[in-house]
Structure 1
Amino acid sequence: FVKICEQAKAYLDMKGELVSGLNLINNTNLEFFPVKNKAEIFRLKGDFMLKMNDCENANVAYSNAITLFKHLPKGWISWGNYCDMIFKETQEEVWLEYAASCFFQGVKYGVSNSRSHLARILYLLSFDTQNEPVGRALDKYLEQLPHWVWLSWIPQLLLSLQRNEAQHCKLVLLKIAQVYPQALYYWLRTYLMERRDVATKTEMGRNMLAQQRMQQAMLANNAANNSSAGGNLTSDNQVHQAAQSGGATGSHEGGNLQGQEVDRSTVEGGTSTSHDQGQQSSTGAEGSQNALRRNNGLGWVTSAASAFDAAKDIMEALRSKHTNLANELELLLSEIGSRFVTLPEERLLAVVNALLHRCYKYPTATTGEVPQSLKKELSGVCRACFSQDAVNKHVDFVKEYKQDFERDLDPDSATTFPSTLAELTERLKHWKNILQSNVEDRFPAVLKLEEESKVLRDFHVVDVELPGQYFTDQVG
């Protein structure tokens, strides 16, 4: 059996030997082989048929292989690849569902490198169709899959919380939180910390929108009252028409904030330019484009906020299921984060080094002017490194570096800022040497744990596992 399989695989990879390989398989007497080996030979026959563009017979061969032995992981993967190929050609949704189901069955029955096959599944899930065939297949097979296969894809699953497949990926992450909490905790904690600002901005944006809608309603009421008291009939009609169109759009969108924002901007654009017909068309077009830009931004922020809420739900589930472990990990990470942060000199040195490498990449590094993008970055560095927060926390650092650094490298200092890219490069080199020398001279190369953190010195591990132990395939 092994000889026939290896021979067939060799024919499959050799140019012009497909017919010879297929004849080898067709002439093989299958009576002497167990069912599993028969199924593998049918799978190889399907590979030959597929490579010879005989798709119909390839499908039959894969079907025969799985019918003979359902627990053949390679058979499921080969059939899944076939269905995936047919879906790419026909774009028929049924083949997408077949492909996803076959891939899940292959992973379920223990195909080698099962983690790598999840890459295609996650890709298909990201571009799932409206009826969500891949999502339905994931929900169906989730409990049957070994949960460790998802551990390498935790970052991708977290990012998917911000896209259409969020509800399906959330189920996967909740399952990981139950079975492998520590593997998820580090990624999930970082994800939540990075997106706190987005969630805060979203809440502020919602409040601002609510205030704007209230102000708009008050203005509409005032306009209606004024018109009923004997105001201009024309303006009265315009206000009522605008209010009616706004109400119709709002009800059509079902209370969608984005729809109301577009409608409000369109109404305002229409009323403010009613004096000039020619000006109205150009201004209306520009206003609609600005409204669409605001809509896109609002939609992204809203999805980011919903992703943040989903991640919070997952963290709460993890903490409720593994309370002791979560407390230990939080203590460990908080202490490391507070005791072993980089010093302001080290951060400034890293930024200067990065900017210096940026200068080297410009083709006119000797005679050209400083690009506007680089000026913008330098302004941001000066604001960030010498902000009011830095002044309060690192008084000595600000006192030593702020004045000279801003004099040499702040674009707002027009009289002292370099006029050419070459001069800027020299100043960055100068500052790199100063900072590197100070960091090496003033700060020790070795730190003793017992001196830096008493908490970590006395830290006793109960539930915390060794990090990185889930990067190899597990059996069972």
Structure 2
Amino acid sequence: MSQCVPPIPIRPCVLKYLGKTHNLWLRSTLMLEHQAFEKGLSLQIKPKQTTEFYEQESITPPQQEILDSLAELYSLLQEEDMWAGLWQKRCKYSETATAIAYEQHGFFEQAQESYEKAMDKAKKEHERSNASPAIFPEYQLWEDHWIRCSKELNQWEALTEYGQSKGHINPYLVLECAWRVSNWTAMKEALVQVEVSCPKEMAWKVNMYRGYLAICHPEEQQLSFIERLVEMASGLAIREWRRLPHVVSHVHTPLLQAAQQIIELQEAAQINAGLQPTNLGRSNSLHDMKTVVKTWRNRLPIVSDDLSHWSSVFMWRQHHYQAIVTAYENSSQHDPSSNNAMLGVHASASAIIQYGKIARKQGLVNVALDILSRIHTIPTVPIVDCFQKIRQQVKCYLQLAGVMGKNECMQGLEVIESTNLKYFTKEMTAEFYALKGMFLAQINKSEEANKAFSAAVQMHDVLVKAWAMWGDYLENIFVKERQLHLGVSAITCYLHACRHQNESKSRKYLAKVLWLLSFDDDKNTLADAVDKYCIGVPPIQWLAWIPQLLTCLVGSEGKLLLNLISQVGRVYPQAVYFPIRTLYLTLKIEQRERYKSDSGQQQPSSVGNQSHSASDPGPIRATAPMWRCSRIMHMQRELHPTLLSSLEGIVDQMVWFRENWHEEVLRQLQQGLAKCYSVAFEKSGAVSDAKITPHTLNFVKKLVSTFGVGLENVSNVSTMFSSAASESLARRAQATAQDPVFQKLKGQFTTDFDFSVPGSMKLHNLISKLKKWIKILEAKTKQLPKFFLIEEKCRFLSNFSAQTAEVEIPGEFLMPKPTHYYIKIARFMPRVEIVQKHNTAARRLYIRGHNGKIYPYLVMNDACLTESRREERVLQLLRLLNPCLEKRKETTKRHLFFTVPRVVAVSPQMRLVEDNPSSLSLVEIYKQRCAKKGIEHDNPISRYYDRLATVQARGTQASHQVLRDILKEVQSNMVPRSMLKEWALHTFPNATDYWTFRKMFTIQLALIGFAEFVLHLNRLNPEMLQIAQDTGKLNVAYFRFDINDATGDLDANRPVPFRLTPNISEFLTTIGVSGPLTASMIAVARCFAQPNFKVDGILKTVLRDEIIAWHKKTQEDTSSPLSAAGQPENMDGQQLVSLVQKAVTAIMTRLHNLAQFEGGESKVNTLVAAANSLDNLCRMDPAWHPWL
């Protein structure tokens, strides 16, 4: 019925009923959304104004029904962000909008307060006049969400009272709260009432609660019923599961949580059976009980679960821990020697501590302190639990001190000072000293803080946290005072903190170590400290930082880090070999280029053999960094001969994957066109007079002279690889030269790009010629075979198997895994496909892992030595940021996680890029839709410049209004707002698939927009955005830091903060933009702003490499003098530190601005409105496709 044209009208309440009763959830939701927008729900995305009231008259009764039904479906689907986005558009009271915003981000105390304010306000209005029925849904919302906030804030006593209040009895609420406060009589009465009129989706819960009563009601314990009740509850829960959409998402969470509660009902019955007087003395019943308690301790809810679910699990367990204590204490009067009651005491105490810890991690610090204080209700708490309780309490004050200030620091100090330390072990006392040092440092008692840290590590040398805190303290002083001995101490502390803990926790400390090297003196005092103290650090800790270590290897500190990198290369040969091989070859190419430009000699040197020794034959001297690289590679070859000869063999065969001559020319023409478009936009002030820039002219001339023979350092590469490479290149050159089509095209090409012809220097003439040739070559490429077989050309790859050598699949070591389970290559699959991706003709290679899965990789020839490393640097940063997102409730709950493909450079001009065969770029979608409509995809760009030229011909400059008109004209005649949405509807006809794709697309776009704006990355062009059709995940090929070539600062001037163009916002809908998109951005910003993630430390280390590379490039461009060793001068430390600090400050300022959340308002709303505003979009470069 939904497909009928014109649509069949169905009433919203009927749609809602069909949706939830007949498993048409998402089809109904999409139809209701459509109705809501048709009936005039505003499509405008605007920043919220605090004064703005939504007039209740503006919503008509039919609209009201649509919005109520839609809101209820969102709520039942657990789509909190969509629900919030919808309600914030339609609520009458501004307090409601504020409360919803607070609740969305887990600020339940503030949300509860706002709901109460709204209720007070409505009460006052009622005293004056009657309320209209239209506002009842909002009243209902206040009550439901006030109750939710109370649950999250652990206020169960108050809720039980509220549920029993006269004239407004709510048996469902009483049922949920009474058992937590051990009011079994009230629970029994409520259960009787609920059973009479229970909706079927609650049936499993009623049976579970019957079970709770059967075990815990003191007068009516009936353990024999439990098995039957567990069976019924499970069956009913499974029946509910079948009524939900087939793709698992938030709506399934309550049933997954139910599964844990039902199984723990069964286990609780086992405990209570063992506590019956007849079984109490038996050893096997005690053994069974210990097993259940141990299982419970290990089976925790997950980070993203609400605190109310943690409370359901922990409070249920508490009843049984107490039962164990009571039973054994009563029996121990007959047998004083048994100490079995302690099993219950310890379990009870550690559950309270764990519960308090989770409340603290979810930001509910007052709730956490309240929970922790309940430990005093347990008699004789074990020492280890006392320690953990005080530790959590101190951490609560530490967290508050970050927000509130000194007062909380003093409270935290007081807790430590008033603790009697004589009962604790050395390790516990040491941790208290370290925490005390942290508080003292915060209130500026520096000397005392230093003493506390020192005492902590003397007392317990292997206490990682103490070393790390002391390192932080010393680093802060060192950066202010710049006394090198403090820097050495800080580095020593950080390296001690990495000696014996899991890899992910040590990343932030090693980042600090690498950053501190920027402050080194001429004697390399700090690098010396790293060399001396890195011995205890396990090599795995360095894997995430290999690119940074290699930057150091090239710098003056390189000679001192040679040992360290050799150590890592010994244990993880593959992780070090490819990067260092690429670095070595890059240095070699750079040295040769320098040699050429110095001596003016054009002869290539003959380095045919593979021995990269320092005494290379030929006139080129190996620089010190080249010598260091070759030394490490030699060492690796001696230690792992089989593995490294296999790696060399694999890379050697990759040369057969080079592009054909026309693919190469096509790629270069596309690069040339992109260059021309950016010049055209710079010179859009005078379109018809725009001339080609010298840089572009050189590029095109070079392209003409080397037409199809490759201008990519071919001679250099061929001299470095072994036989297969030179053979394949020679064959390609020969085949190309003999191809008559090639000869004919080459002639036409040379004539076309003859710059002596009049008018040929005009930019727009060149653009149209480039477009013509791109078409010719695209047509030619389409006729080529789409795949080839590996055995035809690559015997080594074809014969390779797991027996040849143990080679991990590419990129396995980019991020170390906690499991240490790495996937090895079993075989290379026989078919290699030729695909158009990332603006080039790439070869897709399929690798079968030893786990049976197939991993597709693209072999890319995108030869640009410096840019490739810059792109990989941003990918590395995103990989390092991902673990932070997994640790915070608000980000894991929304499944926020950067999609980062693996990219491994195997040589300076070639890399392997992890691929998803189902993915395609936004531009490809656009081209598909244009072809369907029969319009040229670059017509809008031509139209833009034609219009500008027409206006300029009249002698005036294009006003802002003209730019707006051009954008509107393109939207109405060429690229409608609904193009992307039409593609998605066509690709995903099933409502569940469409919904899931759109939801994933929204949160991934939020992450990408956040990264582009906060990290100051280059603008997101539509060809960079890769969309995976099987998952909805988005990744970007390739982001780079947007650094000003002249100054080295991050560029921050752009009309729009990130990509949220009309087509994208139409597809996501306004509810999607103001709901999930905005909420996800706020959640990510708040996550990275957490001080304990030390994001600024990670940024400094990654940007240090970026600035060093920028400096090297500016030196090469200006041909600065070389040092005595024949290599460019290293960057001045002071300049490096100040540039990096400036960049990091710019990033952190943006981050903290977005993370601020005062009064439920965030800067993100303003940014989203700016990104979506036509006034800003029309000022963007047309090659960015602002209409798409």
Which TM-score applies when normalising by structure 2?
A: 0.30
Matches within 5 A, 1:98-247: 98-110=489-501, 112-200=504-592
Q: 1:166 to 1:405 in 2, by over 3 A?
A: same
Maintained 8 Å contact 1:100/1:121: yes
Does the 8 A contact of 2:543 with 2:816 survive in 1?
no
Query: Is residue 338 of structure 1 aligned with residue 338 of structure 2?
Result: no
Q: Is residue 329 from structure 1 mapped to residue 647 from structure 2 by the alignment?
A: yes
2:666 corresponding residue in structure 1: 349
2:631 to 307, 313, 316: 313
State whether residues 5 and 41 of structure 1, in contact with CA within 8 Å, keep that contact through their aligned partners in structure 2.
no
**Aligned residue for 1:415?**
757
Could you tell me whether the CA contact under 8 Å between 1:76 and 1:105 is conserved in 2?
A: yes
Structure 1 CA distance for aligned equivalents of residues 540 and 488 of structure 2: 23
Distance verdict in 2 for CA 1:437–1:43, change over 3 Å? farther
Aligned partners of 1:125 and 1:135 also within 8 Å: yes
Q: CA deviation at 1:73?
A: 1.3
User: Residue type matched to 1:453 in 2?
Assistant: C
Output the CA distance in 1 between the equivalents of 2:756 and 2:562: 52
Q: Structure 1 residue 160: deviation in Å?
A: 2.5
Question: Which SS does the other structure have where 2:465 is aligned?
Answer: helix
Partner of 1:404: 748
**Match in the other structure for 1:7:** 396
In structure 1, the partner of 2:767 is 425
TM-aligned CA deviation for residue 393 of structure 1: 5.7
Measure, in 2, the Cα distance between the counterparts of 1:407 and 1:117: 60
Deviations 1:200-239 (A, max 9, x none): 567889999xxxxxxxxxxxxxxxxxxxxxxxxxxxxxxx
Q: What code does the residue aligned with 1:377 have?
A: F
Does the CA contact (< 8 Å) of 1:198 and 1:305 recur in 2? no
2:550 is aligned with what amino acid? Answer: L
Give yes or no for contact 2:409–2:439 (8 Å, CA) kept in 1.
Answer: yes
Distance 1:6 1:317, change over 3 A: same
Cα deviation, 1:364-411, whole Å, max 9, x if unaligned, reads 24332222222122223333445598865622374243233333345x
Structure 2 counterparts to residues 280-291 of structure 1, below 5 A: none
Paired with 1:37 and 1:437, the residues of 2 have a C-alpha distance of 73
Q: How many residues align?
A: 380
Q: Match of 1:370, SS?
A: coil
1:21 aligns with 2:412: yes
CA distance in 2, matches of 1:332, 1:13: 52
Instruction: Describe the SS at the equivalent of 1:394.
Output: helix
Please give the residue correspondences for 1:14-93 in structure 2 after superposition, counting only pairs within 5 Å. Answer: 14-16=403-405, 17-93=408-484
Distance 2:701 2:543 in 1: 41
What's 1:363 paired with? 682
Aligned to 2:1123: none
- 1:139-197 Cα offsets, whole Å, 9 max, x none, are 22233210122222223322333221111222222222322212222122222222333
- The structure in which a higher percent of residues are helix is 1
Does the CA contact (< 8 Å) of 2:662 and 2:708 recur in 1?
no
> Deviation of residue 21 (structure 1)?
2.8
Aligned counterpart, 1:380: 702
- State the structure with bigger RCO (CA 8 A, min sep 6), 1 or 2: 1
Greater shift, 389-398 or 110-119, is seen at: 389-398
Aligned counterpart in structure 1 of residue 798 of structure 2, from 433, 436, 457: 457
Contact (CA 8 Å) 1:72, 1:109: kept in 2 or not?
no
Q: What residue identity is the alignment partner of 1:363?
A: E
- Output the CA distance in 1 between the equivalents of 2:667 and 2:596: 34
Following the alignment from structure 1 to structure 2, what is the Cα–Cα distance between the partners of residues 53 and 384? 66
Q: Which residue of 1 aligns with 2:40?
A: none
Q: RMSD of the alignment, in Å?
A: 3.0
Quote how far apart the aligned CAs of 1:99 are.
Answer: 0.8
Question: Equivalent residue of 1:110, what SS?
Answer: coil
Indicate the SS of the match to 1:380: helix
1:326 is matched by which residue type in structure 2? L
> Aligned partners of 1:364 and 1:40: how far apart in 2?
63
Give the 3 Å change call, closer, same or farther, for CA 432–26 of structure 1 in structure 2.
farther
* 1:469 alignment counterpart: 812
Identity %: 26
CA 166–372 in structure 1, closer or farther in 2 if over 3 Å, else same: same
> C-alpha deviations, 1:395-443, integer Å up to 9, x for none?
2374243233333345xx3206633222222222222222223223223
In 2, Cα distance between equivalents of 1:405 and 1:44: 72
Letter in 2 for 1:121: V
Match of 1:113, SS state, is helix
Can you list the C-alpha shifts for 1:82-120, whole angstroms capped at 9, x where unaligned? 111111111111101101101110111326431332222
Amino acid at match of 2:748: D
User: Structure 2 unaligned runs (5+)?
Assistant: 1-387, 601-619, 715-731, 821-1188
CA offset at residue 318 of structure 1?
Answer: 1.2
2-structure distance, mates of 1:35, 1:429 = 75
Equivalent pair of 1:18/1:48 in contact (CA under 8 Å):
yes
Higher normalized strand content (fraction of residues) = 2
Compared with structure 1, are the counterparts of its residues 166 and 9 closer, same or farther at alpha carbon in structure 2 (3 Å cutoff)?
same
Task: State the SS of the aligned residue for 1:447.
Answer: strand
Write the distance in 1 (CA, Å) between the matches of 2:425 and 2:550: 44
- Bigger mean CA offset, 140-149 vs 112-121: 112-121
Cα 1:202–1:135 change in 2 (3 A) is same
Q: Residue in 2 aligned with 1:294?
A: none
Q: 2:1116 matched to which residue of 1?
A: none
Gap change, CA 1:393 and 1:170, over 3 Å in 2: farther
Residues 268-295 of structure 1 deviation map (CA, whole Å, 9 limit, x = unaligned): xxxxxxxxxxxxxxxxxxxxxxxxxxxx
Within 2, Cα distance between the matches of 1:334 and 1:34?
59
Cα distance in structure 2, aligned partners of 1:49 and 1:117: 21
- The answer on whether the counterparts of 1:77 and 1:103 sit within 8 Å (CA) in structure 2 is yes
Larger radius of gyration: 2
Shift of 1:356: 2.0
TM-score, normalised via structure 1 length: 0.71
Matched to 1:355, the amino acid is G
Query: What is the CA–CA distance in structure 2 between the aligned matches of 1:133 and 1:33, rounded to whole Å?
Result: 40
Match of 1:442 in 2: 784
The 2-side partners of 1:441 and 1:417 are apart by: 34
